Amino acid sequence: MTDPIVTLATCADFPELDEDDRGLPDALRERGIEPRIAVWDDPSVDWADAGTVVLRSVRDYARKGNYTNFLAWSRSLPRLANHPDVVAWNSDKHYLTRLSDLGVPTIPTTWLEPEAQYSKHQVHTRFPALGDFVVKPAISSGGRGTGRYTATDARSRSAAINDAMHHLRRERSVMVQRYLEEVDRKGEVSLVYFNGVLSHAVEKAPMLHPSFRSTDEIHEEIVTAREPSEQEWLWGERVRKAIHRLIKETAGRDIQLLFNRVDVVGDGKGGFYLMEVSLIDAGLYLGSVPDALEGFADAIAQRVFW
């Protein structure tokens, strides 16, 4: 009897997986699984023989020319974790509006849609009048294309306009959000779930310092492992329930998630805002938290041997 196959899907930028995931193949072998690594858009790969495909470092999926192909590729696979229906809605951050409708507090967002054909002046009038704010595309990965700007600084505001117009001209929806000072004070918290159960949490240092500008590079994160508070755990469960309501709406049934990362930030009033739900190329901080790598390998094995 041959070992079941698990193929870890990555991109050409990380042909051997990123550093955080590199111990995963050995951990899968220890569990009686044959691990493979393949670049998702490599035409030489026979995906029909890939067994269970687990999305990992597919961080180029949002690039122009890749996005449609990536979604089609995900639907062509016999067995993908997470499910293609989940990939489809999670790839576009408009999902935040639906989660907000379902009662999850999210950062107030102004959406700029390319079909509106905004002029530079119209974009300018949709930016905040005071404070710092963030401009980012609705379809992005690894923080690419995200910039922090200052509303009352003319040069910064002009750069933000150019950033937004750059995305809109490329038919990308744009999100405009106030920058939350709570991020500078306390950072973000990521809650990581495997097969629906909270595995671990990390605190992430602020990435968007005041002079930060948009680039197409992946943003490096500085993380510290820590135990989630009871309030964070309860809030994460609230988000998780809303995510599964959205899954039922879009897929017509509930689908268990192999991995789920929920990013939150304090609202300064004792509560939280949801920043993002990452179900595609989520960094899971396997090298930053004791036993996280083993826990993820166990979660994959549970899927394979069910």
- Tens of pLDDT, residues 209-240: 554 454 555 556 778 898 888 989 999 999 99
State the DSSP string of 105-145. -B--EEEE-GGG---HHHHHHTS-SSSEEEEEESS-STTTT
Cα angle value 290/193/46 (rounded, 5°): 95
Percentage of residues of the chain with pLDDT beyond 90: 80
Residue 144 pLDDT = 76
CATH number of residue 220's parent domain:
3.30.470.20
What is the mean pLDDT of the segment spanning 55-73? 93
- Claim to verify: residue 134 and residue 247 sit in the same structural domain: no
Mean pLDDT of the chain: 92
184: confidence class by pLDDT, cuts 50, 70, 90: confident
Q: Are 224 and 203 in contact (CB under 8 A)?
A: yes
- Claim to verify: residue 186 and residue 161 sit in the same structural domain: no
Q: Is residue 99 part of a domain?
A: no
Q: Are 241 and 99 in contact (CB under 8 A)?
A: no
Distance (Å, whole) CA 120 – CA 295: 49
Predicted TM-score (pTM) of the model is: 0.91
Residue 267 pLDDT = 83
207: confidence class by pLDDT, cuts 50, 70, 90: low
Residue 271 pLDDT = 85
- Claim to verify: residue 131 and residue 78 sit in the same structural domain: no
- Claim to verify: residue 189 and residue 271 sit in the same structural domain: yes
Burial (CB count <10 Å: 0-12, 13-18, 19+), residue 58: buried
Residue 208 pLDDT = 53
50: confidence class by pLDDT, cuts 50, 70, 90: very high
- Of 178, 205, 238, the position where a domain reaches its end is 178
Range of the structural domain that residue 58 is part of: 5-90
Model pLDDT for residues 129-161, shown as the tens digit of each residue = 999 999 999 998 877 788 999 999 999 999 999
Q: Is residue 103 part of a domain?
A: no
Residue 212 pLDDT = 46
269: confidence class by pLDDT, cuts 50, 70, 90: confident
Q: Is residue 98 part of a domain?
A: no
Q: When comparing pLDDT for 64 and 109, which is higher?
A: 109
Bridge partners for 204 per DSSP = 188, 223
- Claim to verify: residue 62 and residue 16 sit in the same structural domain: yes
- Claim to verify: residue 122 and residue 85 sit in the same structural domain: no
What is the mean pLDDT of the segment spanning 252-256? 94
- Claim to verify: residue 195 and residue 172 sit in the same structural domain: no
Model pLDDT for residues 75-95, shown as the tens digit of each residue = 999 999 999 999 999 999 999
Rg (Cα) of the chain, in Å, rounded? 19
